[in-house]
Structure 1
């Protein structure tokens, strides 16, 4: 039995993992979906920073006194998840990046994203928050109209400070047991820091034939990948 700590990407909260968490629990595991500060039911007045999100994850693991932790980060949340993985030490069993950004010391989401300048402008224009996507932005991602409507309805503005503050990392991440789940409809190959670290011996690549939001488009398949770990 493993303890899965599930962290969704930008604009999303713990609710995004409902179907995946249900399958993991039905298989006898424990699943702990986590909402990061400033999102969903944890919306606040001031945009939460990157370090706050890292502490959110570490604090949840310590609060629940979890061991054998499979720490799962989707999309943006790969950045705080990667940092938290270094900090929880022997509690960690594996890290899973689900079509996620992988942190590099001293760099932020905005500094490495292909649309980083566009994101920075959107944050500045919206009082420190990154507005959620519209329904049309999900085209070609393997989602039904109902799934898109669910994502759009549940999304909340993302705290911009978490996207502009740099990651703080040691040297452990390349040596940790990591699985990277690449969603092929979004982009066919890992890129950036993920591509670099997948060339090492400790990182494993798994592919899913779906888009960037597999917890909605293929929850059964994603849960199966997580259980196989």
Structure 2
């Protein structure tokens, strides 16, 4: 027998599973939906206790398998409970949920940016109380709960595809405010449940597909390779973020198959290859590097006769995990680009901005803006001749420079960029939408140099085409450098003459707009 423990995301309770439990029980399984505590002082530990209490109340037979299902936020208390009762758990199911690690608060994965602003305004630090007395004090001074979304606001928490207007009204009517500290308290894991098999159910209307995750395993940071473990399976549901309402019977069938251990498996590259430690695809000289806060400057050979040099600020993509052993400014990829610029006569600068999740774009933009000011204030830099060069997910940060281009910005370069928030990226906000930022009079913009990968992923490629269509209508000054056989990150994955030629042409074009004429 399979025993399902069903835990839903924020605001919702056991009633949201009502159309799923019937099919599960008809199949011969047990189904136990959970209602998490809703009193204002409840925190993440409270919700972990709720799930543990239900697990302890079960009396399954000796051959029964307990499957914990965590939807959205609920993956946090599910993982916390599995960590405390690993011997009872046969499988953990991530239902359209993130991959939180030890120390992560749920707020880091909340797609609605206004929630973070609300909790900061209430002064919640996110730190756990150090004693029972502190706990009582904290409970008495708990910030106000996060209010229930109005029917039209649910899309800020995830794709509402498949839900009628009436369904959304019902969802609001049945919901309850979310205690603030369930979102701000860090998840604490000992690793006790690390060997429990897992399944991911991806609701593809939100923009994440099996192919997306496979690309992360193939080209992303090494920690994503654990998703290729044979104990990890995946399913897709072609619906929005609440499949228990939009596709309940189909969800029940998928849960039964997940409990049986089936599901698609990912494949990882062979060996210990780390794409972010690969040498740069061009041979570039090692030049002096100076570090100033989050900014690294790679300096050209000194030449007093030339005076201050123009500079190129390289803006890495993302989101990138917080716990990387080496951050992007240490990667040979960005170091190589910066050294290449320096070898040709410009200062090559790399900013280590803090884009760790899709809700972090405003913070990352602040880091980039601060880096620009440091760069322009450096006496070795000509403050009137700066280029900004953004990659991948860093492309959304270009919206600020497109909306109000400063006089010193002589060129804006974009390499396989994301130029509009992807499906399910509601937390990014309207500010970071380069397609919409293009002005009606494109002539007010600095030159734009866009390097386009011919084998780009479809969703990213669609944002690039939308950008180019609008640029053509507004007569924006865009030069496109095509890499017909290149994938996203072609400099690492396609170390071909075509890739080298594209990088060389892009660099010389950018430097040309800065008034640098390399030999």
Answer yes or no: is 1:130 the counterpart of 2:124. Answer: no
On the 8 A contact 1:76/1:100 being kept in 2, the answer is yes
d(CA) in 1 for partners of 2:236, 2:246: 14
SS in 2 for 1:96: strand
Give the equivalent residue in structure 2 for 1:22.
Answer: 22
d(CA) in 1 for partners of 2:3, 2:66: 5
Coordinate RMSD, CA, aligned = 2.4
On the 8 A contact 1:79/1:101 being kept in 2, the answer is no
Cα deviation, residue 97, structure 1 = 1.0
d(CA) in 2 for partners of 1:22, 1:195: 35
SS in 2 for 1:220: helix
Give the equivalent residue in structure 2 for 1:180.
Answer: 200
d(CA) in 2 for partners of 1:195, 1:221: 28
Give the equivalent residue in structure 1 for 2:184.
Answer: 164
Cα deviation, residue 103, structure 1 = 2.4
Answer yes or no: is 1:12 the counterpart of 2:8. Answer: no
**After superposition, where does 1:1-229 map in structure 2 within 5 Å?**
1-38=1-38, 44=39, 46-66=40-60, 67-115=64-112, 118-123=114-119, 127-138=143-154, 140-189=160-209, 197-228=226-257, 229=259
Give the equivalent residue in structure 2 for 1:41.
Answer: none
Post-superposition CA distance 1:173-213 (Å, at most 9, x none): 44221111010112224589995642333211111000000
What is the aligned residue count?
A: 222
Give TM-score scaled by structure 2 length.
0.40
On the 8 A contact 1:174/1:200 being kept in 2, the answer is no
Instruction: Give unpaired runs (5+ residues) of structure 1.
Output: 39-43
Cα deviation, residue 130, structure 1 = 1.1
On the 8 A contact 1:119/1:130 being kept in 2, the answer is yes
Structure 1 pair 173/186, CA: closer, same or farther in 2 (3 Å)? farther
186-195 or 82-91, which deviates more: 186-195
Structure 1 pair 220/102, CA: closer, same or farther in 2 (3 Å)? same
166-175 or 177-186, which deviates more: 166-175
On the 8 A contact 2:67/2:92 being kept in 1, the answer is yes
SS in 2 for 1:175: coil
Post-superposition CA distance 1:2-41 (Å, at most 9, x none): 1111001000000000010111111111111010011xxx
On the 8 A contact 1:105/1:167 being kept in 2, the answer is yes
Instruction: Give unpaired runs (5+ residues) of structure 2.
Output: 123-142, 260-519
Post-superposition CA distance 1:145-174 (Å, at most 9, x none): 222122111111101101000000122444
Give TM-score scaled by structure 1 length.
0.88
Structure 1 pair 3/120, CA: closer, same or farther in 2 (3 Å)? same
135-144 or 2-11, which deviates more: 135-144
